[in-house]
Structure 1
């Protein structure tokens, strides 16, 4: 039985189980949970359950196989959490390499932001994301007790569920005779969530790019928020196309030009005959007001 469609021969689930048996399964589950993303996960567990049902290459009972797989998955996530806790900031600034892609770490980060702690459980069923989810949880300082709780739940659901599915379906004749096609189907189903998320992000970016010119246009078309008028100290709405107007000043009547007044002469020159000749008050009817009543 060959599964070249799943990748290199040395990574095919049947080759790994035929060569390394249960210890090889546990090692790969441990590494794929928090260290290396591009290792068989779902297909490996399904094949393990199928071989247990057939009694080939794995001699241990089903309950022991499931228990050990769950332990390997939980411990692998614990290691990933510790890596993220102690090296998290440096991982986010690390350049890409053959085994490490910055975009995979960012996808896991977005997944964690979207679903919160329960992402630890959901990520178990999403390839690549399940490798980086515990790292992001550690880098984000998720409470250890919370992480451990969801880690155990996810490990039991994934490790036991997929293995039991392979065990039960492996007893069906059609499944036994078409193992390669079933494994390819499992891989395709595992990749579907990633493909959906990729298409969704691509569509979102296109919408954002198409809406950018419209948004810049709306900045000039939509009315601005009310602002304070300096002249009236009242809120007013400003038309974006209207030129800013200077506050209107109150109308003032033009002042009449002042009549030219000759400067007064000194007292001695104006009244040379002395103080008695100085007029006082305003003349009314030939008399001065202060003289009335005398």
Structure 2
């Protein structure tokens, strides 16, 4: 992470926009999220904006546009190639997670596109799954745009205010207090992430329990009618 920060910090302003925008685009269009989650680069870009190396407003615009366009390309890839795209080598170790993403898409529809934007694996998968499921693009686009806007602006500002707060605390109180602030922020994010994961697991467990409860009744064999017994004739 330090190497990435140093590398981005050594780039010129226009190159920073291009690199971060390209990472965001590729994560959604080409599954690059398995290598480097784009939100990491976006937060680092916000930190650089707090240092005056790039414009926070322009960076937010670049990130939002790259997210929306990247998702649209991922949607088209899924629509054109169909389920075969799920058999590519990078996805083979993640078949269980891909299955959960497909179930999430079936349950939530367009909202899965929006909510998936905030989970790294789902962010890379949801556009393609929407295309595979033949979700109309006119339905996909509003959820895609809303997710890209909230996610892009939110994570840029997260990096920007984190960088600004660090500099302010360091100047007014000292480096030790700034480090404590950074640790508290990171711990808060970790706790939030763990609680979100726990909520997701509880939701999955509830869905599985419901399936098990409903399954036997739905799959029970039909009971044949009792044979008809005619009384004696005559």
Q: Could you say if the C-alpha distance between residues 179 and 160 of structure 1 is closer, same or farther in structure 2, counting changes exceeding 3 Å?
A: same
Q: Given the alignment of the two structures, is residue 170 of structure 1 paired with residue 163 of structure 2, yes or no?
A: yes
Q: Given the alignment of the two structures, is residue 197 of structure 1 paired with residue 200 of structure 2, yes or no?
A: yes
CA separation in 1, counterparts of 2:38 and 2:122? Answer: 12
Higher normalized helix content (fraction of residues): 2
Residue of structure 2 in register with 1:279 after alignment: none
Residue of structure 2 in register with 1:28 after alignment: 23
Q: CA deviation at 1:18?
A: 3.0
Choose which of 247, 263, 284 in structure 1 pairs with 2:229. Answer: 247
Residue of structure 1 in register with 2:67 after alignment: 73
Deviations 1:234-258 (A, max 9, x none): xxxxxxxxxx666141375xxxxxx
TM-score after normalising by structure 1: 0.60
Q: Could you say if the C-alpha distance between residues 149 and 202 of structure 1 is closer, same or farther in structure 2, counting changes exceeding 3 Å?
A: closer
Residue of structure 2 in register with 1:6 after alignment: none
Deviations 1:43-99 (A, max 9, x none): 3323322331132xxx2211101000111111111111111011122124x265478
Residue of structure 1 in register with 2:47 after alignment: 50
Q: Could you say if the C-alpha distance between residues 110 and 19 of structure 1 is closer, same or farther in structure 2, counting changes exceeding 3 Å?
A: farther
RMSD: 3.6
CA separation in 2, counterparts of 1:105 and 1:147? Answer: 19
Q: Could you say if the C-alpha distance between residues 122 and 249 of structure 1 is closer, same or farther in structure 2, counting changes exceeding 3 Å?
A: same
Q: How does 1:3-18 map to 2 (within 5 A)?
A: 3=1, 14-15=5-6, 17-18=8-9
After TM superposition, where is structure 1 displaced by more than 6 Å over at least 4 residues in a row?
A: 206-209
Q: Is the 8 A contact 1:108 1:133 kept in 2?
A: yes
User: What secondary structure is seen at the aligned counterpart in 2 of 1:133?
Assistant: helix
Q: Is the 8 A contact 1:50 1:169 kept in 2?
A: yes
Answer with 78-87 or 191-200: which moved more.
191-200
TM-score after normalising by structure 2: 0.73
Consecutive unaligned residues of structure 2, counting only runs of 5 or more, are 170-176
Which of structures 1 and 2 has the larger relative contact order (alpha carbons within 8 angstroms, sep 6+)? 2
Q: Could you say if the C-alpha distance between residues 140 and 246 of structure 1 is closer, same or farther in structure 2, counting changes exceeding 3 Å?
A: closer
Q: Is the 8 A contact 2:17 2:62 kept in 1?
A: no
Q: Could you say if the C-alpha distance between residues 208 and 104 of structure 1 is closer, same or farther in structure 2, counting changes exceeding 3 Å?
A: closer
Q: Is the 8 A contact 1:42 1:186 kept in 2?
A: no
Residue of structure 1 in register with 2:100 after alignment: 107
Q: Which structure has the larger Rg?
A: 1
Deviations 1:124-149 (A, max 9, x none): 11120011000001111111122122
Residue of structure 2 in register with 1:64 after alignment: 58
Q: Could you say if the C-alpha distance between residues 118 and 206 of structure 1 is closer, same or farther in structure 2, counting changes exceeding 3 Å?
A: closer
Consecutive unaligned residues of structure 1, counting only runs of 5 or more, are 4-8, 228-243, 253-294
User: What secondary structure is seen at the aligned counterpart in 1 of 2:229?
Assistant: coil
Q: How many pairs does the alignment contain?
A: 217
Residue of structure 1 in register with 2:78 after alignment: 84
CA separation in 2, counterparts of 1:44 and 1:195? Answer: 26
CA separation in 2, counterparts of 1:125 and 1:72? Answer: 15
CA separation in 2, counterparts of 1:119 and 1:98? Answer: 19
Choose which of 137, 147, 157 in structure 2 pairs with 1:144. Answer: 137
Q: Is the 8 A contact 1:117 1:146 kept in 2?
A: yes
